[in-house]
Chains A and B, each alone.
Chain A
Amino acid sequence: AAGVIQSPRHLIKEKRETATLKCYPIPRHDTVYWYQQGPGQDPQFLISFYEKMQSDKGSIPDRFSAQQFSDYHSELNMSSLELGDSALYFCASSKRGLDTQYFGPGTRLTVL
Chain B
Amino acid sequence: AQSVTQLGSHVSVSEGALVLLRCNYSSSVPPYLFWYVQYPNQGLQLLLKYTSAATLVKGINGFEAEFKKSETSFHLTKPSAHMSDAAEYFCAVSGVNDYKLSFGAGTTVTVRA
Q: Which of A13-21, A42-50, A73-81 faces chain B? A: A42-50
**B101 close to A56 (CB less than 8 A):** no
Q: Which of A31, A44, A103 contacts B99 (CB 8 A)?
A: A31
Check A48/B100 contact, CB under 8 A, given A43-B44, A99-B49, A106-B43.
Answer: yes
Does any Cβ of B come within 8 Å of A94's Cβ? yes
Interface residues of A (CB under 8 A from B): 4, 31, 33, 35, 41-45, 48, 56, 58, 90, 92, 94, 99-106
**What are 16 A-B interface contacts by the 8 Å CB criterion?**
A4-B43, A31-B99, A33-B99, A33-B100, A35-B101, A41-B105, A43-B90, A43-B101, A45-B101, A45-B102, A90-B44, A99-B49, A99-B94, A100-B34, A103-B44, A105-B42
- B-side residues, CB < 8 A to A, are 32, 34, 36, 42-46, 49, 51, 90, 94, 98-106
